[in-house]
Amino acid sequence: WPYLSAAGVKGLLRWAWRMCHQDDLLDKEELLFGPRKEEKDEDKRQQGCLYTYPIFWEGKVGLDLINPHSRENNTGTTPIKYEVVKKDAVGDMCILIFNRTMEREFLDTILSPLFEAIDFLLNDTAISAKRTAGWGAVKIDSAKVHLRCNFINEQSLPQEQQESED
């Protein structure tokens, strides 16, 4: 089954976030996606609260060809075949946000900018490594948002889990 990895989805979302919000929501970006690679201080590094799932594509798969050219004589060097998902394939994008801060304000400030970034990624650009060449255009047929709030505290854990955590 052709798929786009969870890391690829998260990377595309982070890129879309940066394109939409630049530096005005930098602190929220780190909460969602985790620290940038440049962050070396281990005390400040914390995993982001955005979890992505791979997009598995249902539909026709084909092969395409890239033929890099030599700059000196403008001839092809070594053709490279790669797998592509054909037009009209269907896939589901699923993300999970784990609210570590347990604050309502966190969700209030993060959801709208995140939906803007998703909209920018899907409608204005594309989901593809070669999106600048026009590949990976997406048409959204339907979208669903599920919000579920579960609060876990020590009293709600079974007795044997409480003992093992101590």
pLDDT in tens, 39-95: 556 655 567 888 999 988 887 788 888 888 877 887 877 888 877 787 778 888 888
Q: Which amino acid is at 162?
A: Q
Q: What is the mean pLDDT of residues 95-101?
A: 77
pLDDT of 53? 92
Question: Is the model's pLDDT at 9 over the cut of 80?
Answer: yes
Q: What is the mean pLDDT of residues 29-47?
A: 69
Torsion, CA 40, CA 43, CA 45, CA 49, rounded to 10: -170
Q: Which amino acid is at 132?
A: T
Residue 163 pLDDT class (50, 70, 90 cuts): very low
pLDDT of 50? 87
Share the mean pLDDT of the chain: 76
Exposed, middle or buried: residue 143 (CB in 10 Å: 0-12, 13-18, 19+)? exposed
Structure-model confidence comparison of residues 164 and 16, the more confident one: 16
